[in-house]
Chains A and B, each alone.
Chain A
Amino acid sequence: MSTITAGGIHVPLQTAEVTTVGSPVLNIAIFGLFVAITLVIVLRASRNNKTAADYYAAGRSFTGGQNGTAIAGDYLSAASFLGIVGAIAINGYDGFLYSIGFLVAWLVALLLVAELLRNTGKFTMADVLSFRLKQRPVRIAAAITTLAVCFFYLLAQMAGAGGLVSLLLGINDRLGQSIVITVVGVLMIMYVLIGGMKGTTWVQIIKACLLIAGAFIMTIWVLALHGFNLSTLLGAAIETSGNAAITSPGLQYGLTSITRLDFLSLALALVLGTAALPHVLMRFYTVPTAKEARRSVVWAIWLIGAFYLFTLILGYGASALIGSERILGAPGGVNSAAPLLAYELGGSILLGLISAVAFATILAVVAGLTITAAASFAHDIYASVIRKDRVDPDGEVKVARRTVVVIGLVSIAGGIGAQGQNVAFLVALAFAVAASANLPTILYSLFWKRFNTQGAIWSMYGGLGSAILLIALSPVVSGGEKSMIQGADFSVFPLSNPGIVSIPLAFFLGWLGTVLSRTTEDPMKQAEMEVRSLTGVGAEKATDH
């Protein structure tokens, strides 16, 4: 997943011998072209932004195919692309394991969440969770977990941008990287401020098409070089690396019993976290019906699945054609596998295209996270809790827009501050928090009649608190070689991913809180939610333009 991190900065930069591959000027030019085209589209899309439904949910006017492509654009981050190709190139099979978890997770969304959520909510995850429970406390809790997940995810993406810069643009000094992070942040604020959900969605659609097309071309190229035979490709990878173990699991996670347990914990968080990521859930409100929501997930599964199959070929291709020594020796380390492969295959032009796509990727993911966080703050906290629904939609959107600017500035500052830090755990933490704080309450409130407010509160705060606490006490924060805080050791929890403890705990707390509570919720509300979720009666419709 997110090996796109400080990797690029920690690895001693051997720039003296290794001249930067490709042409940074060309990379910047292609990226500039992407920004120019998407800005025009965002400006055009923004002309119809009138109501809250337009701003948050793009007037619910996207088709399932468009939304599915945007979901793929939102989900396939730079970490997915550079990180997984690099992980397969270096660690072989263990890199492949990530992509399987990321893909299978979509079945949870397809079968259990997407359609029911589309039918019962309006703009945010909290709409669904607070539907039949006490509005205020549940809404606040859901908004807090939403903001927490978005914050961890945002920080990882922004800090990842710094690593990407040194790799692709040849900018290695701290000041230069900070400037690039600021540019990325300002661009993102503009997209979201002007374009709202519609603009954000178009950026994600364009980026998904570019990313998947780019990966597809490289995949065909690699396969053509190996006679379209997977076995030949694997053989070439084994030969270059001199290690037959790269085609079977264990190189990265098989070291000790702790690393094995850690992998299990990660696998659990990946498969249960996806369907509870607030920025993914919010995308289901941009389509007019539950049937289109279903179509979106189906599109997303095909696109994401195809993409991960490409990364398998690209990873082994990089391993065969370039070899792990050259990859690890390049500025950017593991993350440079895909760019180096692009250069090997198609020279500076292909490298420039792939680099621009990687940047576009960060921009699109960050924009999606920002609008989700802003909607959650404006809709759940400001309009529903602070103003108790006595605010007109224009006022709410105004607050959402201001929140976008604040979140943008915070993430620029955070991204600059987190430069050079080991931020890989932030994405893992976002998934673990989503799976433990959100998923139990989503499933219980959709499927368990007796579930009540106390259960929801216990589960959400318990899941959020335990996930964050366990990360704070884990080796990623202290006591390890690559820990955030050096020179201190309070790592009493041995795993770097908290999922295996915090997810079952949150499910248990949801059950315990419910059975220990003497209050029962309104059965009318439960009936209404169940009927609505399955039939779609009274669900929000598309606005006409």
Chain B
Amino acid sequence: MGSHPVEPDAGSGAAVDFTEVQQTEQFKELRKRHRSFVFPMAVFFLLWYFAYVLLADYAHEFMATPVFGNINVGIILGLLQFVSTFAITMWYVSYANRRLDPIAANLRHELEEAAPEVFVDPSGGKK
């Protein structure tokens, strides 16, 4: 077990019916909001990354096209990978702060109030 003296398994599943929580509208909404952001975003950045990799791998001449001075398409697309990574990071953080954290905190408090004996112990009765 873990960080605390050996204890009988708290068996949180017995005290809290997680399947019931899973069926609540609030939880379904949280799951929907989470997945509807992270899945499309993951698909998008992977497609964009592999499009870039394939261009760098198979379209050397296109990547070598000069844009201004000695800076070519390849350098710009490469730097855009950095820009998009930073942008998605900031976008996700702002989305999570606004749309995910409030519901998650709300659900967490409700559960902790409903079954303090399960969740107050920091070891959380895993298993």
A residues neighboring B (CB under 8 Å): 51-54, 93, 96-97, 100-101, 103-104, 106-108, 110-112, 122-123, 127, 229-232, 234-235, 238, 245, 247-250, 253-254, 260, 263-264, 267, 271, 291, 294, 297-298, 301-302, 305, 308-309, 383, 389-390, 392-393, 447, 523-525, 527-528, 530-532, 534-541, 543
Contact = CB atoms under 8 A, between A and B. Distances in A.
B69 A111 contact: no
Nearest to B38: A111
A528 B18 contact: yes
Interface string B103-127: 0100110011000001100111110
A535 B22 contact: no
A289 B82 CA distance: 28
A398 B31 CA distance: 40
Interface size class of B (residues with CB under 8 A): 35 or more
Interface in B82-115: 82, 85-86, 88-89, 92-93, 96, 101, 104, 107-108, 111-112
B57 A298 contact: no
B122 A543 contact: yes
B15 to A, nearest CB: 11
Contact of A534 (B27, B63, B85, B92): B27
A253 B70 CA distance: 22
Contacts of B85: 103-104, 106-107, 301, 305
Contacts of B89: 107, 110, 297-298, 301-302
A235 B72 CA distance: 12
Contacts of A110: 89, 92
Contact of A524 (B13, B27, B74, B111): B13
B58 A534 contact: no
Given A104-B85, A305-B85, A538 B12 contact: yes
A271 B50 CA distance: 10
B12 A528 contact: yes
B57 A540 contact: no
A234 B12 contact: no
Given A111-B88, A247-B72, A540-B2, 9 more contacts: A234-B70, A234-B75, A247-B74, A253-B57, A254-B57, A267-B49, A267-B53, A535-B104, A538-B12
Nearest to A290: B104
Given A110-B92, A249-B56, A540-B124, A535 B70 contact: no
Q: Is the interface of B mostly helix, strand, loop or mixed?
A: helix
B70 A538 contact: no
Contacts of B56: 93, 97, 249
A53 B3 contact: yes
A100 B12 contact: no
A25 B75 CA distance: 40
A93 B12 contact: no
Contact of A107 (B19, B34, B45, B57): B45
A540 B123 contact: yes
A393 B4 CA distance: 7
A538 B118 contact: yes
| In the A-B complex, the 9 residue pairs with the closest CB atoms | A231-B69, A53-B3, A248-B64, A234-B70, A527-B18, A538-B124, A528-B18, A249-B56, A250-B60
Contacts of B34: 534
Contact of B2 (A53, A238, A447, A532): A53
A112 B43 CA distance: 11
Interface in B8-45: 12-13, 17-19, 21-22, 27, 30-31, 34-35, 37-38, 41-42, 45
